[in-house]
Amino acid sequence: MYKVRADFPILEQQVYGKPLVYLDNAATTQKPRAVIDAMAEEYYTVNANVHRGVHYLSQRATDLHEGSREAVRQFIHAVSTREIIFTRGTTESINLVAACFGEQFMHEGDEVIVSVMEHHSNIVPWQLLASRKGIKLRVIPMTDKGELELEAYEQLFNEHTRIVSVAHVSNVLGTVNPVQRIIQIAHAHGVPVLIDAAQSVPHLAVDVQQLDADFLAFSGHKIYGPTGIGVLYGKEEWLEKLPPYQGGGEMIGHVSFEHTTFNELPFKFEAGTPDFVGTTGLAAALHYVEQIGIDEIAAYETSLTDYALQQLRTIPDMRIIGEAPERGAVISFLVGDIHPFDMGTLLDRLGIAVRTGHHCAQPLMQRLGIEGTLRASFSFYNTMEEVDALVAAVRRVSQMF
Ligand code: PMP
C-alpha cells in the first residue's frame, strides 16, 4: 500500500516543520494526481456544456459525463444509469429524498425512522419536513458500545412509518451498522430505506442490489474525488414515483406557460448545468480505488485501525468512544478530562491533523453525555508509522496536562 502515497503530492508536505500526518479522512480525503489531472485535462481540452450541444466539444463533454454515470453505476452495482442522480453530495442527496419522498408520500402524523448516531444531514432535512408537514421522527437507540438496538428498532414500526433513513457507517463511532438486516426488517413492514453511505462507500464494497437499498447517498470528496459532487442512488420504481426536486433547464421535457412536462430519469432530478467536470473527477477517483481494489483497501484499513486502537489503549486514561466489534476506519477518543479542542490544537502543532468537536452529530453527543471527541480517521495512504506518530503525540500531549 505504501507506494500509493506518491500519488498524493499533498501528503509530502511539512506543517510547522513536522511531516504532515493527515488523519481527517472522514471529513475529506486527499486527491490523487489521476483525479486532478483528469479534471485539468477536461478544462484544457474538452470544456463545453453537456447534453444540449450539437458541436464536437459538447458531445465529448456529454460522453465523458454520461460515462462517469456508468462508472458510478458499476461501482455500486446499480441496475441502470437511470438510477444514478448526480447531486452536490450526501447532504443534497438526503435533502432530495426528504423533499420529494416527503412531498409525495408523507402526511401529517406519518413517521420517519432514523438512528441516534446520525449525522445532522440525516436529521435536519427530516426536521424541516416535520415542520412543513407535521411528520414525526422516531429514533433507533444504541447500546453503550455504539451498536444499534435492532429489537427496539423493530418496535418503532407502526402504520404511520413511511421511510427509514440510517447511516451505513457512523462518522463518530466507526460502527458499521447491519444495514442489510435493517433493510430486511423495514421491507417486511413494506417500508423503503435510505442508506447514508458517506462513510462506507470509500472504505468497503457496497452493492445496492445485494443490500436491496431503496435509496443510497454518498459524497465524491470522501472517496478521493472532488468537492461539490455526490450521488443519490434510487431504485427506478421509486424515482419514477417521486416529483422533481428543483425546476430549471435539463429536467424538463417540454415547457409552455400553460403546462410543463418533465424529463426522463435521471435528468428529472438534475436541474441546471451539472458539475460535468466534477463527475469526470469522481469517475477518475472510482477508477483509482478500483485499481487498488476495495477489498484490499478494507483489509488494510482494518489492520491500520486495529493497530491504532491497540496502541491508543496503552495510553493512561484513554477512553475510546465506540466499541462496536464491526467497525470502519474511524476512532473517536478522549483522554482524561482534557478538552478535545486543546488536545487537537496541540496535536496540530506536532503535525497531526485530527478532527475535534461534535462531528455534526450533536444528538449522539447528548446520548454519550459528552460535548465532543477527538477523531482520527484513516485512509489506505496512511501508514503504521503515522499511527505510531499519532500515538506518541497523544501520549506526549496528555503528559503535558
Ligand atoms: N453523513 C455522514 C455519515 C457523514 O460523515 C457526512 C460528512 N461528514 C455527511 C453525511 C455529509 O456529507 P457532505 O458534507 O459531503 O454532504
Single out the residue of 85, 129, 95, 126 nearest to residue 234, CA to CA.
85
Q: How far apart are CA 197 and CA 169, in angstroms?
A: 7
For residue 280, how far is its CA from the centre of ligand 1 (angstroms)? 21
Q: Which residue's C-alpha cell is 431503496?
A: 214
Residues forming beta bridges with residue 319, ordered by sequence position: 334
Give the list of residues 6+ apart from residue 184 with CB closer than 8 angstroms, or none.
212
pLDDT value at 1 more than 80: no
Q: 16, 368 in Cβ contact below 8 A?
A: no
Average of pLDDT values for 344-362? 98
Torsions phi, psi for 177 (to 5 deg):
-75, 145
DSSP 3-state percent helix, strand, coil across the chain (nearest 5): 45, 20, 35
- Alpha helix (H) residue ranges in 190-324: 208-211, 236-241, 276-292, 294-312
pLDDT value at 52 more than 90: no
Q: Whose CA is nearest to atom 14 of ligand 1?
A: 91
Burial of residue 170 (number of CB atoms within 10 Å: 0-12, 13-18, 19+): buried
Mode of pairing for the β-strands spanning 136-140 and 318-321 = unpaired
DSSP 8-state secondary structure symbol assigned to residue 339? -
Chain centroid, CA 240 distance in Å? 24
Q: How far apart are CA 128 and CA 337, in angstroms?
A: 36
Single out the residue of 370, 339, 335, 375 nearest to residue 356, CA to CA.
375
Q: 364, 386 in Cβ contact below 8 A?
A: no
Q: Residues 64-75: pLDDT tens digits?
A: 999 999 999 999
360 belongs to the catalytic site: yes
- Alpha helix (H) residue ranges in 213-263: 236-241
The residue whose CB lies within 8 Å of the most ligand 1 atoms, and thus the one to mutate among 219, 229, 375, is 219
For residue 195, how far is its CA from the centre of ligand 1 (angstroms)? 12
Q: 84, 215 in Cβ contact below 8 A?
A: no
Single out the residue of 342, 395, 351 nearest to residue 373, CA to CA.
342
pLDDT value at 231 more than 90: yes
DSSP 8-state secondary structure symbol assigned to residue 245? S
What is the model's pLDDT at position 348?
98
pLDDT value at 42 more than 90: yes
Domains defined for the chain, CATH in brackets = 2-30+294-400 (3.90.1150.10), 35-290 (3.40.640.10)
Give the list of residues 6+ apart from residue 245 with CB closer than 8 angstroms, or none.
96, 99, 100, 269, 271
Q: How far apart are CA 375 and CA 199, in angstroms?
A: 14
Cβ atoms within 10 Å of 370's Cβ, excluding its own: 15
For residue 400, how far is its CA from the centre of ligand 1 (angstroms)? 34
Q: How far apart are CA 298 and CA 200, in angstroms?
A: 10
For residue 119, how far is its CA from the centre of ligand 1 (angstroms)? 7
DSSP 8-state secondary structure symbol assigned to residue 176? B
Cβ atoms within 10 Å of 3's Cβ, excluding its own: 7
Cβ atoms within 10 Å of 29's Cβ, excluding its own: 23
Q: Whose CA is nearest to atom 4 of ligand 1?
A: 198
Please give the number of the atom of ligand 1 that sits closest to the Cα of 219: 15
The secondary element (H helix, E strand) that includes residue 217 is: strand 215-219
At 2, the pLDDT band (50, 70, 90 cuts) reads confident
DSSP 8-state secondary structure symbol assigned to residue 246? S
Q: 81, 267 in Cβ contact below 8 A?
A: no
Look at the alpha carbons of 79, 83, 88, 93 in this order and tell me if their dihedral is positive or negative.
negative
Q: Residues 135-150: pLDDT tens digits?
A: 999 999 999 999 999 9
Arithmetic mean of pLDDT over the chain: 97
- pTM value surpassing 0.95: yes
In this prediction, what percent of the chain has a pLDDT beyond 70?
100
Residues across the chain: 401
The residue whose CB lies within 8 Å of the most ligand 1 atoms, and thus the one to mutate among 86, 90, 117, 222, is 90
Does 266 sit behind a cis peptide bond, omega within 30 degrees of 0 on the bond before it?
yes
Q: How far apart are CA 311 and CA 290, in angstroms?
A: 30
At 373, the pLDDT band (50, 70, 90 cuts) reads very high
Q: Residues 192-215: pLDDT tens digits?
A: 999 999 999 999 999 999 999 999
Torsions phi, psi for 255 (to 5 deg):
-120, 130
At 307, the pLDDT band (50, 70, 90 cuts) reads very high
Average of pLDDT values for 364-383? 98
Average of pLDDT values for 17-21? 97
Average of pLDDT values for 153-171? 98
Average of pLDDT values for 348-369? 98
For residue 28, how far is its CA from the centre of ligand 1 (angstroms)? 9
What is the model's pLDDT at position 212?
98
Annotated catalytic residue, options 27, 36, 298, 360: 360
**Pocket, ligand 1, Cβ cutoff 6 A:** 26, 89-91, 119, 121, 167, 171, 196, 198-199, 219, 360
Q: In what order do the strands lie in the sheet with 318-321?
A: 318-321, 330-335, 373-377, 355-357
At 54, the pLDDT band (50, 70, 90 cuts) reads very high
Q: Whose CA is nearest to atom 12 of ligand 1?
A: 90
